[in-house]
Structure 1
Amino acid sequence: MMLMNIKGVVLAGLSLVLLHVVNELLLKPRSLRSKLQKQGIHGPSPHFYFGNIPEKKKILEQHQVHNVASSHQDKDKGVSSSISHRWYYNLFPHVEKWRRQYGPIYLFSSGSVEWLVVSDIEMVKEITLYTSVNLGKPSLQSRELGPLLGQGILSSSGPIWVHQRKIIAPSLYLDKVKEMVNLIVHSTNITLKSWESRLNNEGEALDLRIDDDLRSLSADIIARACFGINYVEGNEIFSKLRDLQNLLSAKDAGIPGFRCLPIKRNREIWRLEKEVNSMISKIIDERLKQDAEEQDLLQMILEGAKSCEGSDGILSDSISRDRFIIDNCKNIFFAGHESTAITASWCLMLLAIHQDWQDRVRAEVLQVCGNNPPDASMLRKMKMLTMVIQETMRLYPVAAFVSRSELEDIHLKGILIPKGMNIEISVPILMQDPEIWGHDSHEFNPERFSNGIVGACKFPQAYVPFGLGARICAGQHLAMTELKVILCLILNKFRISLSQSYCHSPIFRLVIEPGHGVILNITRI
């Protein structure tokens, strides 16, 4: 009798598991798609398990074969290949194909996860104005990118995100960032002295891969300004986060259950996650022992974790205090240094090509700063430099997509979007749309920002390099300040041109970055 009871319990348990699997893989996705299809929204037909991932890969492979054939033909004809800023169509050809086939709002499945892909400006405008926490981050992001982001400010939703935003954002307001300018100048000068030293050894000119150096520089700034440590102390953390980023950007992301398999890549991810968490824990322990008076970002995170503990606190139900602190530190470490370094690299690449703009920006820097290091008041006066940075971020945004998830049913542009549906906004398509930006939308033209973002295009809501709506990047002021200081000091010391060995190859590794680095030829002014 007891054996029969045990078998009955096991069978009941297996039945519940099976029902859950069927619901998650088949019934729930079909229900979400059906609700939107009835409203005239369509997309490619998905596989019940893989979704549209196989079709997406096939389109990409066909596009790559076509590109290789075209490049060989151009080479045979002696046609020199120019740098095109329409890189998006090479990295994500499926988006453009389905956009043309189904319109600017269509459905797509990544495994069992349903997406509403949006490049319609009217819907984007409504999303920008939607401030409710009911529009959060997709749970897929925290699952697939958990080792890198956990449940930090970049991936969390609801009350925990609101609390994180209240803690982190004030530490990155413009008045706080102004106090960091001298630190940014100091760190940048250390990097530039190393370039000068190499020039002394090499001669009058030097071919230099700048993206790695700028990544190290940005990491040093974040380590000092936000965590009270130097780059040497944080170097191993940044290096391991970079390794995690590369591993997590694999093309099989989204396949249900794949991240749980003990394959070599996943084991490496788990190892790196454990090591990064351990190293950040040591930094936290050191800070707690010091009884420090610093009011930097790390201190705000520590105090923020205390303020939401307790029986009725946010942490008691969703995330432990230690994970709250570690995950937010990882978010700042990763986003804070990676995005700024990549944008600075793209910006210098564009200035190396467009010598006229390089001369104009350098003249402005000399006029405003002279031989003095830039300060906060000087940075505000640099209109040309700001225009160049804005145009760089338009052509080469760090994020390819802005994602949201409906935590409740919501209406956008007259469409009822059901709870559980995810939204994906195609950032580069939005920021290079000729109907919004004009006939030169794929060209480098900082002059379009001469009257600010509002005067640059038909709809300022189309300019989203820092995201949009309530979840716009909390660190945008720090990023812009870093970029201005770094570019000021570089252009004040060096003239740059594109090296013959530079290969223009934007690649997607969770962010859009130069696949073979940015190699410049630098000479002294």
Structure 2
Amino acid sequence: MATVLVLWLWLGLGISAAAKTSLFLWNWIWTPLSLVRSCRRQGIAEHPRSLPIWQLLSFSKFVRLNLDSWTGLIELGHQEKVFYFVAGTKVRMSIRDPSLVRQILIDNATCYSKPSFIRSLKILGNGLFSASGDLWDNQRQLLGRIFHTKAIKNHFESILTSALKVTEMWGNELENNCREVDINQEFLDIMVELIGKIAFDADLSIPSGNLSMISKSFKRYLHNKWQICFGPAATIPWYKILNMHLVKEIYEDECQLSNLVKEVIKNRQCSNASTLDEVDHDPILIDRLLDAKSLVSSCNISTGQVLDNCLTFLLAGHETTSSLLSWTVYLLSLNQLWQERARAEVQEFFSWHMHWKNLTNLKLINMILFESLRLFPPQPVIGRHCMKKNLVGEYEVDKGMEILIPIAALHRDQDLWGDDANEFRPSRFANGINGACKDPSAYLPFGTGPRTCIGQTLALTEARTILAVMLDNYAWELSPAYKHYPHVTLTLQPKFGMPILITKL
């Protein structure tokens, strides 16, 4: 009997080992090789021709946008319109042709899901940003109403109040009428506070210092996840087991942020918020989710999706706008004439009566924000994972291929934008996006197609309001301590912060 049990045990272990070995060979050898063969068969260029670990390092440089100066070019992405490279188990195809990009993001959108990096963000679960198929479609329908212009107009006073409060705080802390401020961290904190008010009707600044804790925790979480997807873990099997410190930090941040949002949800449930049945009621995000969970809405969702979406909008709602504002302030630091022109417009149309209607008159501000989005798009690379073989132009994209669309390279393509593509020239948008570029579909700061960023109107409203209030109260220039290092995890942020010297007017 004992002998039989031992034999069964060994047989079970053998089958398990064989299954794991087969899975390893399939994921790490067979699938990548078959995708590489497909690319080579179609004559797609390989960049660079080297071992996968070196390709990974080059890719990190490509995504990181490690520019020597603000006018610098991305080193990779300008060599070929279409090329592929290997990083561990992933074969990625970079596409920088507007017509092909349209097919991927619009015409063939149902053939693609979010890329491996987004799907690895456990904290986002099956929220709107990371979900695919019917799961995504239901959530998009459910939450679309919240981001209509009418609903955002109702939040204008909250946005304006936060902007006035923080600028007044800076003024109170000025010494000798000048002070150094890390404007990137300030914007991150403002946006966390604002998304708390707008999406959850909650004050996330309690306890003291909570805003910075939230933004820094998200930043560390995204950085660590990026290391797992694009660092050594992407090319070295079982690397995560060797780096338990990294895994521990990820787990701690997931728990901390999840517990914070769970508490917000619990408090909202206890407050007996109004239901969606009320006439002319524009619900905030958390109410919309909770009512859908309670089957008040036809688009019912699970308890997990309520948490996933709250975390999604807390993350995306503060990262995107803070990125846009930070790089706009940076560009206006280097272009003082445009800063003065923008300030004159604010003082003429907005500062005497800070109202939603007057905000729409800030044409120069809009042009400056559009140009900032062009030069430093919040999401400089859009990724997609192919779920179904499809034809993109003359190229056959196989299932399992990951697509990269280098938005930053498209936005600086001289064939599309002219010889001054790397220069800060907001006047190119004087006649709108159609007049700024040979192919308007090459301008993708918020993506395009069915998965266009749902919160772009809110982000632009927040950016216009905060920038207008800042221009009305302060002049600024870059601090000598600033180190230029655009860094990408989920969005494009200055890796070492953005210290500026502000002077009260």
> Please, what TM-score do these two structures have when normalized by structure 2?
0.89
2:188 and 2:318 in contact (8 A); partners too: yes
Question: Which residue in the other structure is 2:278 paired with?
Answer: none
Instruction: Decide which of 111, 120, 124 is 2:97's aligned counterpart.
Output: 120
Match of 1:133, SS state, is helix
Match of 2:234, SS state, is coil
Query: What per-residue deviation string (whole Å, max 9, x for no partner) do you get for residues 315-353 of structure 1?
Result: 7xxxxx333122211111111111111211111121122
Instruction: Decide which of 148, 162, 166 is 1:187's aligned counterpart.
Output: 162
Counterpart amino acid of residue 209 in structure 1: D
Counterpart amino acid of residue 206 in structure 1: R
Query: What per-residue deviation string (whole Å, max 9, x for no partner) do you get for residues 368-401 of structure 1?
Result: 124222x222122211100000000111111121
Query: What per-residue deviation string (whole Å, max 9, x for no partner) do you get for residues 59-96 of structure 1?
Result: 8799x9x99xxx9xxxxxxxxxxx4332x53xxx4x34
Match of 1:232, SS state, is coil
1:431 positional shift: 0.4
Counterpart amino acid of residue 34 in structure 1: R
Instruction: Decide which of 330, 337, 356 is 2:318's aligned counterpart.
Output: 337
Q: Distance in 1 between matches of 2:108 and 2:146?
A: 21
Instruction: Decide which of 221, 231, 241 is 2:204's aligned counterpart.
Output: 231
1:292 positional shift: 1.0
Question: Which residue in the other structure is 2:186 paired with?
Answer: 213
1:117 and 1:423 in contact (8 A); partners too: yes
1:5 aligns with 2:32: no
Return closer, same or farther for 1:161/1:37 CA change in 2, 3 Å cut-off. same
Q: Distance in 2 between matches of 1:58 and 1:358?
A: 36
2:117 and 2:226 in contact (8 A); partners too: no
- State how 1:458-473 maps to structure 2 within 5 Å: 458-473=438-453
1:524 positional shift: 2.5
Q: Distance in 2 between matches of 1:61 and 1:122?
A: 26
1:257 positional shift: 4.2
Instruction: Decide which of 69, 84, 98 is 2:70's aligned counterpart.
Output: 84
Q: Distance in 2 between matches of 1:308 and 1:422?
A: 38
Q: Distance in 2 between matches of 1:455 and 1:44?
A: 34
Question: Which residue in the other structure is 2:249 paired with?
Answer: 268
1:448 aligns with 2:436: no
- State how 1:443-522 maps to structure 2 within 5 Å: 443-522=423-502
Counterpart amino acid of residue 145 in structure 2: P
Match of 1:156, SS state, is coil
1:355 positional shift: 1.6
2:52 and 2:88 in contact (8 A); partners too: yes
- State how 1:383-402 maps to structure 2 within 5 Å: 383-402=363-382
Question: Which residue in the other structure is 1:361 paired with?
Answer: 342
Q: Which runs of 5+ in 1 are unaligned?
A: 72-82, 316-320
- State how 1:430-449 maps to structure 2 within 5 Å: 430-449=410-429
Counterpart amino acid of residue 9 in structure 1: G
Q: Distance in 2 between matches of 1:314 and 1:34?
A: 44
1:137 and 1:403 in contact (8 A); partners too: yes
1:162 aligns with 2:142: no
1:118 positional shift: 0.9
Question: Which residue in the other structure is 2:279 paired with?
Answer: none
2:191 and 2:318 in contact (8 A); partners too: yes
Match of 1:249, SS state, is helix
Q: Distance in 1 between matches of 2:459 and 2:173?
A: 28
Q: Which runs of 5+ in 2 are unaligned?
A: 276-282
2:293 and 2:300 in contact (8 A); partners too: no
Q: Distance in 1 between matches of 2:482 and 2:386?
A: 43
Question: Which residue in the other structure is 2:122 paired with?
Answer: 146
Match of 1:193, SS state, is helix
Q: Distance in 2 between matches of 1:357 and 1:61?
A: 31
2:188 and 2:215 in contact (8 A); partners too: no
Q: Distance in 2 between matches of 1:261 and 1:329?
A: 33
Counterpart amino acid of residue 93 in structure 2: L
Q: Which moved more, 1:228-237 or 1:397-406?
A: 228-237
Q: Distance in 2 between matches of 1:60 and 1:323?
A: 33
RMSD: 2.7
Q: Distance in 2 between matches of 1:422 and 1:59?
A: 13
Identical aligned residues as a percent:
26
Return closer, same or farther for 1:278/1:207 CA change in 2, 3 Å cut-off. closer
Query: What per-residue deviation string (whole Å, max 9, x for no partner) do you get for residues 199-226 of structure 1?
Result: 2xx1222232221111111111111011
Counterpart amino acid of residue 224 in structure 2: L
Counterpart amino acid of residue 380 in structure 1: T
1:423 aligns with 2:399: no
Counterpart amino acid of residue 126 in structure 1: Q
Question: Which residue in the other structure is 2:260 paired with?
Answer: 279
Give the number of equivalent residue pairs. 485
Match of 2:367, SS state, is helix
1:45 positional shift: 7.8
1:260 positional shift: 5.7
2:56 and 2:87 in contact (8 A); partners too: no
Instruction: Decide which of 33, 36, 40 is 1:33's aligned counterpart.
Output: 36
Return closer, same or farther for 1:505/1:13 CA change in 2, 3 Å cut-off. closer
Question: Which residue in the other structure is 1:173 paired with?
Answer: 148
Return closer, same or farther for 1:309/1:15 CA change in 2, 3 Å cut-off. farther
Q: Distance in 2 between matches of 1:130 and 1:61?
A: 30
1:44 and 1:52 in contact (8 A); partners too: no
Question: Which residue in the other structure is 1:328 paired with?
Answer: 309
1:408 positional shift: 1.1
Question: Which residue in the other structure is 1:78 paired with?
Answer: none
Return closer, same or farther for 1:20/1:456 CA change in 2, 3 Å cut-off. same
